[in-house]
Structure formats: structure tokens, C-alpha cells
Amino acid sequence: MTDDSIYGHMKDEGVSRRDFLKMCGLAVGAMGMTSMPPLEASGLPATLNHVEKKSIDHVAKAMETQPRLPVIWLEFQDCTGCSEALTRANAPTLGSLVLDTLTIEHHEALSAAAGFQIEEAKQQAMEKYAGQYVLVVEGSIPTGEHAAYCAIGGRTAEVILKEAAEKAAAIIAIGNCSSFGGLPKASPNPTTAASVTDLITDKPVVNIPGCPPIPEAFVAVITHFALFGVLPELDKLNRPMAFYGKTVHDRCLRRPFYEAGKFALTFDDEGAREGWCLYKLGCKGPTTYNACASIRWDSGLSFPVQSNHPCLGCSEPDFWDGGGFYQGQSAPLQKPSMTTAGVAGAAGLAIGAGMAATAKAKKENKK
Amino acid sequence: MNPQAMLAFARGPFFNVAITFFIAGMLYRIANVIFLGWSKDLSKPRGSKGLGVVKSFLRGGLILPFFPREKKAFVNNPITYLAGGLFHLSLFIVVILGAAHMLAWKSLLGFGWWTLPLPIVDFMAAVGIIAMVMLLINRLNHPVLKRLSGAAEFFNWFLVFVPMVTGYMMTHHMFLPYENLFALHMVSINILLIWIPLSRISHFVFYFFSRTIHGVEWGKRGTMP
Amino acid sequence: MTDKTMDVFIKKTGGWAASQLEACTRCGICAEACPYYLSTGNPDYTPIWKVELLSRAYQQRYTLVGKVKTALGFNKAISDEDVRDWSLIDFNACSMCGKCAAVCPMGIEINKLIGTVRAGVTAAGYTPKGLMDKAKAQDEFGSPNGDGPEAYADWFASAEKEVGIKVPVDVKGADVLVVFTSLEITGKKSNLYSLAQVLEAGGVSWTTSLEARDAFNMGTIVGNGKLQKKLLGRIYDAAKNLGVKKILVTECGHGFVALRDNMPNIFGEALPFEVTHIAEFLPKLIDDGKIKVDASKYDDGKTYTFHDSCKIQRAGGIMDEPRTALKLLVGDNSFKELASNREEGLCCGGGGGLRAIPEAFDNRMAAFKLKLDEVEEVDADVVVSTCNNCQLQLKEGLGFYNVEDVEVKGLIEMVADALVLN
């Protein structure tokens, strides 16, 4: 066994076999794995085929054979909230799992280096790991005549992204901004911000939307790729099915109150105190695909609805423009203009009355 | 157009166009009837016209669909009575007392109201859908309905049926992702809103005219409307 | 010819008709009330389908959608053939009984709209010949069977010989003007004698008129407004000239409704006199104690039932009074209601001028069968009616189906027979 492997690295760090296997179990759980990816497609050694078809053995075998995965992390029009959320993932084993599995070659916020030095380091890493590294993108990308709104070292975000994407093995768009455009893209979209998938079409892209996304989702995807060399199963919006396959509403702990018709109507009424459903306070849970309600945040401590706030729908495209946060999810996006409706109504009345009057005149002529 | 964009379009500009057209169209329809002129009845009433109107609405609105006054008429065409009555009941319960629909009304009207628990609404929606299917089968089979039905009647049926089905599928996450169904639901409702003033579905307005007339006529002669 | 039909439709379609045409949902429930549909199963006889001609004309001429459809070529203009087809269903298979309006969930007054279609058909000249001949005869002689004033004078005079009462004719200042139906002079002359006895016994100040002799109104039946006005005008003028307080209509249904409900609107003023029918007048005489009846007269073990006539009961609203009188005469136990009664009463099958249309005979008898079934269901021996036309139809039907043990009687004769003279 070479020391290039993930397990080799961990052994160097003093991780026991027992702890290693525990970690494998954690990785299985984190990936939400219920079935194995097709091995032929993954390029993994055929020996893996012979191991027992148990997820944990599968993962252990992969960790013993796969090298650590290089990662290049780019930030554009973002708030670093996604990175924050990930590094603050309150599970030490999870954090170390990430660090053990990956070598983060470039991350502006985490690097000690800055300026030309870090740019140079990035170029070197891109050369060294060409075709192997995973590109993680945080933040949306301004385009067109507004491209200059985000530039690093005199080069626009668009150029930087395309350059880095060219040699990447896969791209992970973390957060709503890089997945769908997020806040920068909200109407009126002053920077003509675009998402990664808007700009990159020739590479596999995984979207992990959220504001911020659930750290476990990112960990699972990157671990999956590190171990098996393929991306997990994705939905139509390129989101990993294991985390974005069900709506918040589906798994919500307040769902029974929805079914029973018990709703909080204001934030300080009896219903809110009793922990009733927040649907009527504008909860977007029914249209929001995310694992908040099952995985929750801060090691399963809580999630917005549990903390008495309706879901904003942050893992969905254009959630900033999806109607007021406290307006019912089923309501029309804008109220029809009263003036237009009034004018149209008056026109309708006038046409009707006019036609009727003509008919009436005709009728009286016949008498 | 992806489902998200379609949903945003259907919930936003398309809905606004549809509801504006609906308001204008219905006002046109009402004006077109009202301003045709009404002649005054000079004959001496034998009974109270006002009481007749009250009875007419009590009978027509509450009792008639389920307790038909004419037993034989019910026996000969029970589906129209039962399915027709259940469909309308389902419609009112789902569209007015369903939480999701109430929120839509609230955003338009500015005030909300109490809603029914989902299982009840859901059950009534299913009842409504089954009733609609029964009504279609009846319309295709009953000799009188075959005589009376043209393409417009079936088109009306279809346009009313689609929002009901998409709405039901939506709450149950059937076949398609939620937002796709939501988008279909909204699009079908918008089309329905535009179609109503152009079709006989507008009977919900003229119902009040005809039942009032009926109450006046029958109340005037002192009979039970 | 359709131009004339359209003219009539345009003239008669105001908000009243339009709002009801718009209200129809095509549910088809009206068919289940129609005796002609129920007995023949012909979907063309669906009441609202009989209005289709008017509905189509309305859609095409009065609505935006209809106009757009016409412009795009989707609408077929109403042809002569259509009018002829609708003549067959509106005249030959409709007695304008109005039961459809009772069951309509939307409360559409379908029978009145059918009246408009009839008027349109008549304007185009497609009214069934038998009926049109009667209308022409009434236009000419005053009565559809050709009985002129002389015939009536003879009839009035004959009362003296029959019951010893001199019938007052054209007496100014009388309270009540009695108006007959021409069916009585042709088929039931005794009604005059019976009624004269009752009125005399009740001390009613009454008169007949040679001018206003016949309440029968072919104009109403075929939908000819001019003829209707002319015929009503005779009675209207006579009643005014004689200064009566009341017009009492005998066993005539449509004539009664035309006088009471249509006349004021046709002449544009509230009537200076009241219009009443023997179905409410005779019971009132009994009720007020003006006349006394001997209830034991009908203590014959027979079962009596009451036939609700479309015009007098459903359209006239006179439902309680004849029943009270009948129950008083025959006793509560001998009286049985038919399954369909009062507002839901089933038509005898011969109203609306059908008896004058030979082609409608089959429909008429088929519809009567429904009535017969109801009568047999309650095992009635005597069917009492306040309408002469109904009585004739009932008798004809009973004969057609060879039912011998059922008798048909009018309320007038029943009251007169039981009269106790002081």
C-alpha cells in the first residue's frame, strides 16, 4: 500500500485502524449511500469488485487505494458564508475527514499567502494536478459589460473561472450564488451575474445550493468523488439526490401540524409558541428541496423551521425573487396592478354596456 | 423554458394578465346582460316576490343538489345531481378553505381566514376529481347530455379538470417534481381564468340572475320556487 | 322567413331572457321533468334544447364571442330548416307546462323562453297547420271553434230552460264578469248551468258579456303578439266598459294567466280590476259561508284525486284553495294526492295547444301515460281538475288506454252538485 493513499496519509497522522473504520462508516452515512456507484465507470481497481457488497467495506477499500484529492477553491461574488459554514462544521471527525481526504491547494480566505504569491501558487497547482483537481466555486460570476465588477489580479472572474475549469476533473458549485446566481442575480441583477452552469457546459458540475448549503452535503459529494472518482446521482438542477431529493416540507418536524391544519398566524401567537406549522407565515418548505429538516445544522441541533422561522427556499433558483419571505408560497408573485385591472374592468363594462345598448336600440326599433 | 422560469412566469405576469382579463371579461358579460333592458312587471302579485327569492336561493343553493325536489328526475339522472353537487361542494371547500388557496386569496384581497386541515381538503379534492370523471362519463353516455353537448362543453370540462388534477398531484408529489406541477397548476388556472368569461363556466354569475328571476316569478304567484 | 323569426327574438330578448340563456350549464336535468322526453325518450325533447334556437340567435347577435365566431365562420346562421325543425319540437312536444323550470338547478324559466321560440316560429309561418287554423278562426270569429256571439247568446239563454236562471248579459255595474273558455261551449255546456247555480246561490252580482265571452287565447298559444293583444283587448275593454271589479275565468288555464299576468304588461298599466279563477273563487265562496255544500253527496266510497293543471296551479299559484274545497266535499280520507303534485304536478299531456295538432297525438298519449300511471298508483276513481282542456285530454287518454273505471270531473260541477239551496 503506498503512502499516497488517503489511508496512508491518515496512518501517518496516527489514526488507528479502528478509528479509520469508524470514519469510513461516517463517510457512508455522510454520502447517504444506499447503493454503490458502477465500478467500471469509476476507474477504480477491479479488485474492489470482490469485496463484500457492504458500503463500509467498499469505502474502506477505496480509502486504502485512492490518493488524496487536490482541490482548488475559487471565490467570486460571495460572502464567504459557504466556506465559513463548512469550516465551522461542528463535527471534528467530519472536519478531519475533509482534511484527510483532500489537499486544498488554493483557497484565498484560508491561505496564508496573498497577492501575486497565491496567484502563482494556484497556477502551479493547476499545472501539477491538471485533469485531477476538483474546482470548487463560491459566489456568482458577473458577465458581459459588467464582468469587471469582480476581478482578481486584473483578470475578471469569468476569465479566472474558465481558465480553472478547463483543467478541472469536476466542478462543485457551492452555495446558491454559484449554483443559481443567488443574491447578486436577484432582480434587477445589476452585475448580470451568472451561475457556474450558465458559463461552463463542458465539465461535470455539481450544484450544492443553499445560503449557506448544509456542510454535510458538500462533504459527501467531495468524499464520494475522492473515493470513487465519479459524482453522485444528481437531480435536474445538478443537485445531489441524496440531499436534495426531498423537500423541507416532506421531512419537516412540523409537518403533522400542517396536515392537521394548525398554523401559526403571527410570530407571537399561540400557534407560534406551540410550534405549529409556519406555512401561513410564508414558509417555502413545500417547494424547497434540501435536507435541512433531516440533517439540520450544527450537528443536528436545529434548522430554521425548528427555530420558528419559515423556510426561505434558499436552495432553489431565484429564491430572492420568489415572492415575499413572509408571503404565502402559493400566492401570486405580484399583486395585479389595481390601475390596470380598473382600466380593463372599465373597458369590459363599457364594451358590454355599449353592445347591450346597441342591441336594445335595435330591439326598440322593432316595436 | 425550465419549470422554475415557467412557474415564475405563471405566478407573475401571466397570472396578472389572466386575472385582469377575467375581471374585464366578467364585467363585460354582466354589463352585456344588464344593459339589455328590463321590463317592469305590472301584474298584481299573489305572493311575496322577496320571499320567493329567499326560498329560491335556499332551495337552489343548499338543498337542490343533494335533495332534489323531484324524485323521478333524480332517479333518472342521479349522476348529474350527485356528482354535480359534490363537484361544486368540493370546489368551494378546496378553493376557499384550502390553506394554500386561502393564502392566494389573502395576497389578492388583503385578508385571510380559517382553513380546513389538509386531509379533509385532500379528500374533498379527490371527491371533486372523481365527480368530474363521473360527469364526463355521464355526458358521453346520457342521451340528453349527448344532445346538449358540443365541443365547448368538453373543452370547459377539460379546462376545469386540469387544475384540479395538477393541484391534487402537487400535494401528493405524484409523477413530476413539485414545482413542475405547481407551474402546470398555475398555467392551467391562468388559462381557465381567461376562458371563463368566454364560456358557460361563467354561469356562476348568471346563477344569481336566473335564481333571482325564478324566485321573483314563482314567489309572485305564491308558489314554492 | 328567418328574418321574421330574428325580429321576434330581438324584440323579446332583454336582460330577463339573456341572463337566463347565459345561465344554462347544459346539465340536462330539465329533460327529466319533461313528460314528452320521459315518455318518448327522444333527447330532442329536452326542454332547454327547445330553446336552443333562441340561445343560438342570442349568442350570434348579442355577444362578442358569438360575433367573433361568426366572423371566423364557426357559426351557422339559423336557416329556414332549423325553424321548421324547432317547430316540431316546440309545438308538437311541449305543452309549456313549466315543470322544467321547477327542477332546473339554475331556476331558468324554460317554458317562457320556449314561448319566445314559438313566437319566432309563428312569425316565420312554420306553426303546425292545425293550430294555425284555430288561431285564424279565433281571429275571425272570436273563438277557435268558430262560435260567434250568436252561439254564445243562445247558450246563455239556454240556462233558463236548463236550470231556471236567466244569465245576465252585458250588465253594467255588476261585480263579476264571467269569462268562459270556448271548450265549454263546444264540449261542456253544463259548466254554465252549474256555475250560474253556484253564483246565484252565493248571491254574487255577476254578468257575462257577448264581447268578452272567450278567455281562450290562440295568440298566447302560438306566440302571435298582435292576436294576443287583440283577444285580450276584447275582454279588457268589456271589463272596463261594464265597470266590473273582477274577471272570473272558468275552466281555462292559459287564458287565465294571460289575463292576469300578461294583460297589464301588454296594455302598460296595472289592471283596474282583479282577475280570478273559479279554482280560487268557488272555494272562497264556500269558505266565506256564501254557499253551503253537502259533503255527504260524495260519500260514495270512491277515491278522489286532484290533477294540478300547469297554468292554473303551477303558473297561477292556485293550489291550496281547490284542495281545501275538494277535501271538504269528499272528506280527507277519500282524497289522495298524486305522486307528482302541486308545483311538481305532471302535465296531462294535452296543454299548450297540443290538442289542436293532429301530428302531436302520439306524443300526447305517450305523455298522458305517465299521468295515468300516477292515477293508477293511488287507485283513484275520480280525477278532479279545474281546467277544461285537461279534462278533455284526460278523458281522451282514458279512452285511448281503455281505462273505464276512472272518472274525470270539474270542480264547478262538483260544487254545483253538492250545493245546498236555502
Give the pLDDT of residue A158. 92
Give the pLDDT of residue B154. 93
Average pLDDT over residues C377-405: 93
Count CB atoms within 10 A of the CB of residue C393.
Answer: 27
Flag whether pLDDT at A302 surpasses 50.
yes
- Label residue A323 left, alpha or beta by phi (over 0 means left) and psi (-120 to 50 means alpha): left
Give the pLDDT of residue A39. 47
Clarify whether residues C67 and C199 are in a common domain. no
Clarify whether residues C216 and C307 are in a common domain. no
Clarify whether residues C165 and C103 are in a common domain. no
Contact C64, A350 (CB under 8 A): no
CATH number at residue C73: 1.10.1060
pTM: 0.84
Among C98, C110, C31, C50, residue whose Cα is nearest residue C345: C98
| Grid coordinates belonging to A353 | 354596456
**Cα A314 from chain centroid (whole Å):** 8
Clarify whether residues C301 and C411 are in a common domain. yes
Flag whether pLDDT at A38 surpasses 60.
no
Flag whether pLDDT at B190 surpasses 60.
yes
Q: In angstroms, what separates the C-alpha of A238 from chain B's closest C-alpha?
A: 14
Question: Residue C318 burial (CB < 10 Å; 0-12/13-18/19+)?
Answer: buried
Clarify whether residues C142 and C280 are in a common domain. yes
Touching C (3+ Cβ pairs <8 A), the chains are A, B
User: Residue B99's pLDDT band (boundaries 50, 70, 90)?
Assistant: confident
Q: Helix, strand, coil: what percent of chain A each, to 5?
A: 50, 15, 40
Chain C residues 64-103 with a CB less than 8 Å from chain A = 64
Chain B residues 167-206 with a CB less than 8 Å from chain C = 198, 200, 202-203, 206
Flag whether pLDDT at C215 surpasses 60.
yes
Q: In angstroms, what separates the C-alpha of A335 from chain C's closest C-alpha?
A: 28
Listed range (B54-68, B175-189, C113-127) with the worst mean pLDDT:
B54-68
Contact A76, A141 (CB under 8 A): yes
CB contact under 8 A, A331 and B106: yes
Q: Is A367 on the interface with C (CB under 8 A)?
A: yes
User: Residue C128's pLDDT band (boundaries 50, 70, 90)?
Assistant: very high
Question: Residue A153 burial (CB < 10 Å; 0-12/13-18/19+)?
Answer: exposed
Among A102, A23, A81, residue whose Cα is nearest residue A56: A23
Last residue of a domain, one of C99, C127, C155: C127
Q: Is B14 on the interface with A (CB under 8 A)?
A: no
The DSSP bridge partners found for residue A73 are A107, A136
Contact A43, A229 (CB under 8 A): yes
Q: Is B217 on the interface with A (CB under 8 A)?
A: no
Provide the percentage of residues in chain C whose pLDDT is more than 70: 100
Q: Does ipTM exceed 0.85? A: yes
How far apart are the two ends of chain A, measured CA to CA in Å? 108
Provide DSSP, A176-220: HHHHH-HHHHSTT-TT-EE-HHHH--SS-EEEE-SSSPPHHHHHH
CATH number at residue C227: 3.40.50
User: Chains A and B: how many Cβ contacts under 8 Å?
Assistant: 138
According to DSSP, the β-strands at A151-152 and A155-156 are: antiparallel
Question: What is the number of structural domains in chain C?
Answer: 3
Among A113, A114, A110, residue whose Cα is nearest residue A87: A110
How far apart are the two ends of chain C, measured CA to CA in Å? 62
According to DSSP, the β-strands at A193-194 and A141-142 are: antiparallel
Say how far apart CA C293 and CA C414 lie, in whole Å.
10
Flag whether pLDDT at C306 surpasses 90.
yes
* Max avg pLDDT among A63-72, A338-347, C1-10, C306-315: C306-315
Mean pLDDT of chain C: 90
Give the pLDDT of residue C70. 87
Q: Is A350 on the interface with C (CB under 8 A)?
A: no
Average pLDDT over residues A143-163: 91
Average pLDDT over residues A96-107: 74
Say how far apart CA A246 and CA A78 lie, in whole Å.
27
Clarify whether residues C189 and C276 are in a common domain. yes
Flag whether pLDDT at C332 surpasses 90.
no
| B142 vs C28, C48, C99: nearest CB | C28
Flag whether pLDDT at A161 surpasses 80.
yes
Chain C residues 13-72 with a CB less than 8 Å from chain A = 13-15, 61-64
CB contact under 8 A, A363 and C14: yes
Question: How many residues appear in chain A?
Answer: 367
Q: In angstroms, what separates the C-alpha of B40 from chain A's closest C-alpha?
A: 15
Q: In angstroms, what separates the C-alpha of A310 from chain B's closest C-alpha?
A: 15
Provide DSSP, C11-39: HH-SHHHHHHHHH-----GGGGG-HHHHH
Give the pLDDT of residue C324. 92
* Predicted confidence (pLDDT) per residue in C158-207, tens digit: 999 988 899 999 999 899 999 999 888 888 899 999 999 999 999 999 99
Average pLDDT over residues C375-381: 92
Count CB atoms within 10 A of the CB of residue A247.
Answer: 26
* Predicted confidence (pLDDT) per residue in A284-295, tens digit: 888 889 988 888
Last residue of a domain, one of C127, C144, C165: C127
Three-class secondary structure of residue A247 per DSSP: strand
- Label residue A300 left, alpha or beta by phi (over 0 means left) and psi (-120 to 50 means alpha): left
Mean pLDDT of chain A: 82
Clarify whether residues C342 and C275 are in a common domain. no
| Sequence-ordered list of residues with C-beta below 8 angstroms from that of B141, at least 6 positions apart, any chain | none
Expressed as residue numbers, the domain containing C278 is 135-284
Among C132, C36, C49, C42, residue whose Cα is nearest residue C92: C36
- Label residue C146 left, alpha or beta by phi (over 0 means left) and psi (-120 to 50 means alpha): left
Give the pLDDT of residue A324. 82
User: Cell numbers 478531519 label which residue?
Assistant: A96
Listed range (B37-46, C39-48, C124-133) with the worst mean pLDDT:
B37-46
Contact C328, C285 (CB under 8 A): no
| Per-residue b or e along C347-369, where b marks 16 or more CB atoms closer than 10 Å to that residue's CB | bbbbbbbbbbbeebeebbbbbbb
Average pLDDT over residues C99-110: 89
Flag whether pLDDT at C102 surpasses 90.
no
Listed range (A177-186, B144-153, C292-301) with the worst mean pLDDT:
C292-301
Chain C residues 99-128 with a CB less than 8 Å from chain B = 99, 101-109
Clarify whether residues C264 and C146 are in a common domain. yes
Q: Is B151 on the interface with C (CB under 8 A)?
A: no
Contact C416, C194 (CB under 8 A): yes
| Per-residue b or e along C51-65, where b marks 16 or more CB atoms closer than 10 Å to that residue's CB | bbbbbbbbbbbbbbb
Last residue of a domain, one of C233, C253, C284: C284
Count CB atoms within 10 A of the CB of residue C129.
Answer: 12
Listed range (B69-83, B141-155, C49-63, C395-409) with the worst mean pLDDT:
B69-83
Among C237, C236, C232, C246, residue whose Cα is nearest residue C174: C246
Pick the residue with more confidence: A122 or A113? A122
**Cα C282 from chain centroid (whole Å):** 19
User: Residue A276's pLDDT band (boundaries 50, 70, 90)?
Assistant: very high
Say how far apart CA A38 and CA C373 lie, in whole Å.
79
Say how far apart CA C327 and CA C307 lie, in whole Å.
14
Q: In angstroms, what separates the C-alpha of B170 from chain A's closest C-alpha?
A: 10
* Residue B156 to residues B161, B162, C414, Cα–Cα distance (Å): 8, 10, 55
Structural domains of chain A, ranges and CATH numbers in brackets: 68-244 (3.40.50.700), 248-321 (4.10.480.10)
Amino acid at C75: N
Clarify whether residues C278 and C296 are in a common domain. no
Clarify whether residues C39 and C151 are in a common domain. no
Provide DSSP, C260-310: IIIHHHHHTS--SSEEEEHHHHHHHHHHTTSSEE-GGGG-SS--EEEPPPI
| Sequence-ordered list of residues with C-beta below 8 angstroms from that of C40, at least 6 positions apart, any chain | C93, C363, C366
Clarify whether residues C268 and C346 are in a common domain. no
Clarify whether residues C110 and C148 are in a common domain. no
CB contact under 8 A, A367 and C11: yes
Provide the percentage of residues in chain A whose pLDDT is more than 70: 87
Q: Which contacts qualify for A343-347: CB closer than 8 Å, 24 or more apart?
A: A344/B20, A344/B21, A344/B23, A344/B24, A345/B23, A345/B24, A345/B27, A346/B27, A347/B24
Pick the residue with more confidence: B70 or C383? C383
* Predicted confidence (pLDDT) per residue in C247-302, tens digit: 999 999 899 999 999 999 999 888 999 999 999 999 999 999 899 988 888 888 88
* Residue A94 to residues A4, A223, B37, Cα–Cα distance (Å): 21, 11, 80
Angle of helix B99-109 versus helix B78-97 axis, rounded to 10: 60
